[in-house]
Amino acid sequence: MSLGTLVSALPKGVTEAVAQAFAQLPHKVVWRFLGERPSSLGNNTLLLDWLPQNDLLGHPKTRAFVAHGGTNGLYEAIYHGVPVLVEQCLEATTLTTKYFLEALRDVLENPSYCHSMQKLFGLHRNTPLSPFASATFWIEYVMRNGVPPAHRSLQHVLVLQPQRGRGGAAHGPQRSLSLGLSLCLQQAVLQELQEEDQAGVKDVNID
């Protein structure tokens, strides 16, 4: 179980409920935990302030992953085919042992979760190149060709929005400044893209 790096500590009632639920499982539990040690902690649960999450998910005996639903954790679980129980504990101040234990047992004992994750596992790994080979290809691609406009991030074409006052209308000077910056940004981006296109055409003509 890991709730990411942004969760420093959970409410005491939540940690006690989670620890008591873990204690009733016939499995060993590794829990990334910060805060006061729960009094209901079972002998099957190991508390760590840091854990090698990806390595644990890749262990052949890992049965499930309790997480907060972050992108990295979900992708790692899919890569290793491990079912995930997403628990938004930041808002679950009324979480009970019964509810959490039922959810855990459902994920552990219902084969549909494992089958669904295995399907995602197969789709995720069904690629023509390994991650290392893919990274190597794109690095060499950029070295050969630069970054074409079509491959640019969309952040290069974002525009600034005018700041609005309490009444919903933009203030005069602020609105003018924001719109002016937006136009300057648009012109700069368009000019840069045009220069790149012209340079590309010249290179082709020379070759």
Question: For position 52, which CATH number holds?
Answer: 3.40.50.2000
Tell me the whole-structure pTM to 2 decimals: 0.65
Q: Name the residue range of residue 42's domain.
A: 12-125
Q: Which pLDDT tens digit goes with each residue over 36-46?
A: 899 999 999 99
Task: Please tell me the predicted confidence (pLDDT) of residue 27.
Answer: 95
Residue 162, domain member (yes or no): yes
123's tokens = 């789709």
Q: Per-residue confidence of the chain (207 residues) as pLDDT tens digits? A: 998 876 767 888 888 999 999 999 999 999 999 888 999 999 999 999 999 999 999 999 999 999 988 889 999 999 999 999 987 654 556 788 998 999 999 999 999 999 999 999 999 888 888 888 999 998 998 899 888 777 777 666 666 555 555 555 444 444 444 444 445 555 555 565 565 555 544 343 333
21's tokens = 């639920």
Residue 194, domain member (yes or no): yes
| Rounded Cα distance, 203 and 207, in Å | 6
Residues 108 and 49 in one domain: yes
Residue 80, domain member (yes or no): yes
Among residues 48, 44, 56, the alpha carbon closest in space to that of 20 is found at 44
Residues 82 and 179 in one domain: no
Task: Please tell me the predicted confidence (pLDDT) of residue 177.
Answer: 43
| Rounded Cα distance, 11 and 94, in Å | 10
Residue 95, domain member (yes or no): yes
H/E segment holding residue 46: strand 45-48
Classify residue 170 by its DSSP letter.
B
Task: Please tell me the predicted confidence (pLDDT) of residue 14.
Answer: 87
Task: Please tell me the predicted confidence (pLDDT) of residue 4.
Answer: 81
Domain endpoint, select from 72, 90, 125: 125
Residues 117 and 26 in one domain: yes
Radius of gyration of the chain measured on its C-alpha atoms: 26
- 13, 61, 48, 1: CA torsion to nearest 10: -40
User: How many domains does the chain divide into?
Assistant: 2
Among residues 61, 67, 27, 30, the alpha carbon closest in space to that of 48 is found at 30
Residues 117 and 62 in one domain: yes
Residues 27 and 87 in one domain: yes
Contacts of 46 (CB under 8 A, 6+ apart): 28, 29, 30, 31
Residue 65, domain member (yes or no): yes
Residues 118 and 174 in one domain: no
Residues 48 and 82 in one domain: yes
Residue 131, domain member (yes or no): no
